[in-house]
Amino acid sequence: MAVITVEQVKKSFSTLEVLKDISFSLEKGEVLSIIGPSGSGKSTLLRCITNLETVDSGTITIGGDTLVTTTDQGSAVYADKHTISRIRLRVGLVFQNFNLFPHFSVMRNLTEAQIHVLKTPKDEARQVANELLVKMGLADKATAYPYQLSGGQQQRVSIARALALKPQVLCFDEPTSALDPELTGEILAVIKELASEHMTMMVVTHEMAFARDISNRVIFMDDGLIVEQGSPEDVFAKTQNERTKRFLNRFGS
Amino acid sequence: MGKLLMLMLEGTFTSLRIFFLTLLFALPLGLLVAKGRMSRHRIISSLVNGYIMIMRGTPLILQLIFVYFAPYYIFGSSADRFTAVIIAYVINYAAYFAEIYRGGIQSIPQGQLEASSVLGFSKIHTFSHIVMPQVVKRIMPAMGNEVITLVKDTALAQTIGVAELFRVAQNAAAREFSTMPIFIAGVFYFVMNAIVSKSFDRIERKLDYYR
Ligand SMILES: Nc1ncnc2c1ncn2[C@@H]1O[C@H](COP(=O)(O)OP(=O)(O)OP(=O)(O)O)[C@@H](O)[C@H]1O
Ligand SMILES: [Mg+2]
């Protein structure tokens, strides 16, 4: 069953066409990596799916409900506010630079949305947070503030913050790019662990070895288009596509 | 001497009333003005910008005179002096506060707003629980400056005949042919501002628990 379907999505910033015609679907339990050169539209795609950007046309469904669809005349029609706020919670997003709330303790970063958005009772929210902190190896950091944590720890908190809302899909936009090289491993390990638990994930990454390692499927994007998609084997080892080859060569993979 | 001090305390009380009433109204009004200034509607934002430019571009003393006398020429009657002072100070300080708020609000990284949106927080919750607490911390130093200026600006209220501290001191000085009362008033202002800056230091320290 597809958790996310994206059909013929187009998106421009004024005259710059960033997504030209994107279609793909994400199956339950699947780990999908999106690779591609800088400026190819990877972040924009994630941002359209998480409703941080609006598409110009195309269809996106999340968990079987339509976020946006397109009329015959070609204009995008979004679901009503209420539906959007309900279904967008099905997709979590982990940012490159964490975006934790600096004035909240780690605990409150994890409980705030549970309590105020999901209306989870406080005790239960705290319990969920504690379990996630244990899982992320941060059991002793509940009372710390973000500035007191390393980049890797902050990113683990932000993963926990997203997981606390029990999303059906977790998206990552270059989750290790802001980290010192020696800290990227701990984040990749966390994502790998989530993959082994069959968490449905979409990962935009420049870590080719990692993408090959954890993905069920890889999408290679270039210039607003999906140039190629397939198993890691297909894309990394057997690709016949010139653009893919050139990209992979440049990344020394 | 005892009588002089009594008079000056009375004047101080008037100054403090101006000070607190101005803060009471200008602090929230400034936030509204800042919101208007940042409005996506061009008309609203340019109107509000015009208002801010006038408030910051002309002397407070002139605004005070305007607020007191303009209604007289238009409607044939003025607000009472004290009310006119409060109105003039509130609209003037709201403009300064608005610019401080705006700077603070715009300094919150866009990414935090995006995180907040992805987590499903309402706009109101985002503003009141994510943005404003951090704004308050960031604007404290600028606010401190402005509030200290306000303490000294209360002395302008005498322009339209409100007997605040400085007016009382000047009257006493004229009566007694001595500059002493004026220096005593100086000490009063200094003490008030010492308290203001101590208070701001304390608030800043209180907000030091995060970076
Ligand atoms: N808000 C915006 N306004 C205007 N142009 C934008 C905006 N956001 C992105 N772009 C442009 O859209 C294009 C695609 O950007 P996007 O961030 O999606 O690329 P990306 O594949 O994520 O690149 P990177 O690997 O560098 O993160 C770029 O040319 C970028 O400059
Ligand atoms: Mg990007």
> Two tokens at A149?
């944590």
Q: How far is A205 from chain B (nearest CA, A)?
A: 19
Chain B residues close to A92, C-beta within 8 Å:
118
**A56, A12 in Cβ contact below 8 A?**
yes
Closest-lying ligand to the alpha carbon of A12? 1
Of A42, A207, A221, the residue with max ligand 1 atoms within 8 A of its CB, to mutate for a pocket test, comes to: A42
Which chain A residues have a beta carbon less than 8 Å from that of B112?
A: 99, 101
Q: What is the pLDDT of residue A47?
A: 97
Does the beta carbon of A13 lie inside 6 Å of ligand 1?
yes
pLDDT > 90: percent of chain B: 92
Bridge-partner residues for A217, per DSSP? A32
Contact A99 B121 (CB under 8 A): no
pLDDT (average), residues A176-203:
94
Total residue length of chain A: 253
Ligand 1 near A177 CB (within 6 A):
no
Nearest chain A CA: its distance from B32 CA (Å): 24
Closest listed ligand to the CA of A13: 1
Interface test with B, best of A46, A84, A86, A99 (most B CBs within 10 A): A99
- Percent of chain A scoring above 90 in pLDDT: 90
Which ipTM value was assigned to this complex? 0.94
**A162: closest chain B residue by CA:** B119
| Residue B141 CB coordination number (10 Å) | 12
- In tens, the pLDDT along B83-127 reads 999 999 999 999 999 999 999 999 999 999 999 999 999 999 999
Q: What pLDDT was estimated at residue B126?
A: 98
Contact residues on chain A for B206, CB-CB shorter than 8 A: none
CA distances from B120 to A67, A73, A82 (A): 15, 31, 11
Mean pLDDT check: name the lowest of A161-175, A224-238, B19-33, B40-54: A224-238
Mean pLDDT of A33-50: 96
| Gap from CA of A34 to ligand 2 centroid (Å) | 10
What is the distance between the alpha carbons of residues A109 and A98, in angstroms, rounded to a whole number? 12
Is the CB of B121 less than 8 angstroms away from the CB of A117? yes
Classify B178 as helix, strand or coil.
coil
Mean confidence (pLDDT) of chain A: 95
Q: In this complex, which of A85, A103, A145 lies closest to B120 when CB atoms are compared?
A: A85
pLDDT for the residue B2: 82
pLDDT at B79: 82
DSSP H or E segment with residue A7: strand A2-13
Number of neighbours of residue A186 by Cβ within 10 angstroms: 18
For residue A80, the 8-state DSSP code is P
- State residue A239's pLDDT score: 86
pLDDT of residue A252: 57
